[in-house]
Chains A and B, each alone.
Chain A
């Protein structure tokens, strides 16, 4: 069975539909990029998959023994976080909150897990630094390490490279790619960067007036991708 199976999903706010009749599935080890225009419902879709929001209709089923709270999530940064007094260690540690359950304090194993994930992300040297003093790329790696503490199976990333400079963006993409290829972590990523999406992903979900879901090879030859690639290319140039 697929890791995630989405059937006839309709999304929206206050009964107002943004997306309807969405069908797709994600297998373990996939790297799925969700692309589409602003306001097409990408973030809403991700929030619904995280059960932060109810679907208007349809269903999202988790398979392969994946529990809804075993998903690592990298949200877009909020204004509050940019001025938050907390060390890198404190923030990465909070990724273990699902493992912790009702226990009030973190265990030795959890602290070890935090260290491992910080080393993986190369942020161990900043452990005692304040989050708000880090660069944008370093902050994203902190949040990625936190997400990894929550999961070994599936990461949901909401525009992980927005606001980063090209060099840091490339590093971030490589980091995510290595998590996918070497660690076998399934990736679902919202992206505005269609060129990178086509380059790194195995599957594409294009949402908007027209919906496309399929392997990236099929996507690049589809008419919907051409139109989108042209428009995006013009905007980014």
Chain B
């Protein structure tokens, strides 16, 4: 415990906690929509694209890798949404191709880069599982994370009712003159931003869990869309803080500890719903 309070007094740990809370909050907000709209595949595909983009950025020795990863991932989000809706090309196959292709290309570049670091496996492991990158964010990266997170939360609040309408019944929304395609695009772009943010917290392989599991947990317990959204936000933030604390005390990797906490919460929520708890 002394260990923990010592760490918590360090500025970079405090930074990490603030960023973690913001990222966890953002990533939980669109989880419900992602699950219900069957967009989970886009989230998963994009996380691999983000890995590839980060690899390219590190090969180019960019100081702020997010600045390259962000536009590339957003671009892919738009492309994936297009192919996903096109029934002629097999949508999910296209997603699989793009995502695995990006993963392979990223690893290839990291290995063959003239500036490659002495320990490629450690770099790759860090990108895939997050490891300690949340603790080593530079000040400008912290600001970028904070700014983007706040933007995501504001967009979500402003478009909350539209997102609900498009998620619940796209045909009805279109018939009522709501531009459903535009909102789908907005959702995809926001997801891309969240994924690039969340790479810092849990790494690209674990992002889907961060986005989807709080929503799945909340859906076991709550019966209103608002309730599910608020509950998943609370669960996600709690798990992120808890995960970071545990990782400090028990010296475990940050990302996987947070995801493990999310999974545990899901099991608890599932158990509660089986026991008949409904809120």
Contacts and interface: CB of A to CB of B under 8 A. Distances in A.
Residue with the greatest number of chain A CB neighbours at <10 A, chosen from B36, B173, B176, B224: B176
Interface string A97-110: 11010001110000
B90 interface: no
B41 interface: no
Given A73-B175, A75-B171, A97 B224 contact: no
Given A81-B168, A94-B169, A105 B175 contact: no
Interface string B80-110: 0000000000000000000000000000000
Residue with the greatest number of chain A CB neighbours at <10 A, chosen from B36, B160, B168: B168
Given A98-B176, A100-B161, A104-B158, A52 B171 contact: yes
Interface string A164-200: 0000000000000000000000000000000000000
Interface string B119-162: 00000000000000000000000000000000000000111111
Q: Do most interface residues of chain B lie in helix, strand or loop, or is the interface mixed?
A: helix
Contact of A51 (B160, B175, B225, B226): B175
A146 B161 contact: no
A147 B171 CA distance: 12
Interface string B21-34: 00000000000100
B270 interface: no
A71 B173 CA distance: 11
Contacts of A51: 174-175
Nearest to B177: A69
A85 B32 contact: yes
B178 interface: yes
B164 interface: yes
A148 to B, nearest CB: 12
Interface in B170-198: 171-178
Interface residues of A, number: 35
A124 to B, nearest CB: 16
B7 interface: no
Interface in A74-100: 75, 78, 80-81, 84-87, 90-91, 93-95, 97-98, 100
Interface of B: 32, 36-38, 157-162, 164-165, 168-169, 171-178, 219, 222-228
16 contacts: A50-B174, A50-B175, A69-B176, A73-B171, A75-B171, A75-B172, A84-B36, A85-B228, A90-B226, A94-B161, A94-B164, A94-B173, A97-B178, A104-B157, A130-B224, A147-B172
Given A80-B36, A147-B172, A150-B175, 18 more contacts: A50-B171, A50-B175, A51-B174, A51-B175, A52-B171, A52-B174, A73-B175, A75-B171, A75-B172, A80-B37, A86-B164, A86-B168, A90-B164, A97-B165, A104-B160, A104-B162, A146-B172, A150-B176
